[in-house]
Amino acid sequence: MDSQYLPMSEAKISVLDWGFLHSDATYDTVHIWGGRFFRLDLHLDRFFAGLEKLRMTIPFDRNGVAEILHNCVALSGHRSSYVEMICTRGASPTFSRDPRDAVNRFMAFAIPYGSVADAEQMQRGLHVAISQTVRIPAASVDPSIKNYHWLDLVRGLFDAYDRNAETALILDTAGNVAEGPGFNVFIVRDGALTTPATGVLPGITRRTVFDLCAEQGIPVTAGEVSVDALRKADEVFITSTAGGIMPVTALDGQPVADGKVGPVTMRLTALYWEKHADPAWSTPVRYP
Ligand code: PLP
């Protein structure tokens, strides 16, 4: 932050930053596993594309950002970590209301790795509620720009807690399944996978599932996922940098198929973690 490396407790932003006041920010999160970045290039691609779409500029190129991320991880010493890069609109020195007058701010941090699902939930599968909350439409906020517009997702979480579920899936304006708080979703039916095509963040873990399926010859498509198709699926799983591929075994209190973690989910999860040691998919952190 501001060309300095600081302990997390000292990393602070101004309350006048538009990132805080208006959610005017973009970010990306990459993870470290076994001392290696997983698919760092794809995260940098998405982050820099977001900056361009939001007309933000930072004083670093891809290599500069990658170096800062390496340094954050190396200085923290984490071997498994959740690493976030952020650009906020910043604040205007003259209190101008014109976003073009704001000085954009870049910051990055590394904290210990965290997962949507804990070890027990990974074993038995997550219990998910289908919230009636509608995801912010893509025509309002472009979901391909990773963003902090989370009030719909947080509302979904409270809906889920009220119904004794652990997390939520929320719908798009047509009533189809969109995504959840920090994850994409896949259904498996007769050996073929489907994930919502539009109105969602194009997740890097979602993309990784497509790449694994291509390698394994498993059919996968991005298309419409109705609530009915979700309820009738043989298997359901969610995907996120925070946890990878995570099984869902109950929807609104009803079991998904036989209520056990399914074979396709297990196979893809195992392959996902194997790839973390593969130099084609991961990069070692430059620890001192
Ligand atoms: N959807 C939303 C809204 C997210 O915030 C995230 C990640 O934070 C995802 C999906 C999953 O994306 P990724 O696999 O790149 O972590």
Q: What one-character-per-residue DSSP string does 95-155 give?
A: --S-GGGSEEEEEEEEEE---SS-HHHHHH-EEEEEEEEEPPPTTTS-TTS-----HHHHH
> For 115-157, what is each residue's pLDDT tens digit?
999 999 999 999 999 999 999 999 999 999 999 999 999 999 9
Give the C-alpha separation, 40 to 204, whole Å.
Answer: 10
Average pLDDT, the chain: 97
pLDDT band of residue 3 (cuts 50, 70, 90) is confident
Q: Which CATH fold topology does 119-276 show?
A: D-amino Acid Aminotransferase; Chain A, domain 2 (3.20.10)
Q: Is 282 in the pocket of ligand 1 (CB under 6 A)?
A: no
DSSP designation for 39: S
Choose one of 240, 268, 275 to mutate for the ligand 1 pocket test, by most ligand atoms within 8 angstroms of C-beta.
240
Q: pLDDT over 90 for what percent of the chain?
A: 99
Take atom 5 of ligand 1 and give the residue whose Cα is closest.
Answer: 182
Nearest residue to 185 via CA among 269, 140, 247, 232: 247
> For 227-237, what is each residue's pLDDT tens digit?
999 999 999 99
Specify the ligand 1 atom closest to the Cα of 204.
15
Find the 207 Cα to ligand 1 centroid distance in Å.
11
CATH 3.20.10.10 placement within the chain: 119-276
Find the 15 Cα to ligand 1 centroid distance in Å.
26
CATH number of the domain at 8-112, please?
Answer: 3.30.470.10
Find the 288 Cα to ligand 1 centroid distance in Å.
31
Beta bridge partners of 25: 88
Region 22-29: mean pLDDT is 98
Take atom 8 of ligand 1 and give the residue whose Cα is closest.
Answer: 182
Task: Report the alpha-carbon angle 245-246-248, nearest 5.
Answer: 140
Q: Is 156 in the pocket of ligand 1 (CB under 6 A)?
A: no
Q: Is 262 in the pocket of ligand 1 (CB under 6 A)?
A: no
> For 144-200, what is each residue's pLDDT tens digit?
999 999 999 999 999 999 999 999 999 999 999 999 999 999 999 999 999 999 999
Find the 240 Cα to ligand 1 centroid distance in Å.
5
Find the 83 Cα to ligand 1 centroid distance in Å.
13
Specify the ligand 1 atom closest to the Cα of 239.
14
> For 208-246, what is each residue's pLDDT tens digit?
999 999 999 999 999 999 999 999 999 999 999 999 999
pTM of the model as a whole = 0.97
Task: Report the alpha-carbon angle 275-279-283, nearest 5.
Answer: 100
Take atom 6 of ligand 1 and give the residue whose Cα is closest.
Answer: 182
CATH 3.30.470.10 placement within the chain: 8-112
Give the C-alpha separation, 147 to 149, whole Å.
Answer: 6
Q: Are 261 and 124 in contact (CB under 8 A)?
A: yes
Residue type, 65: V
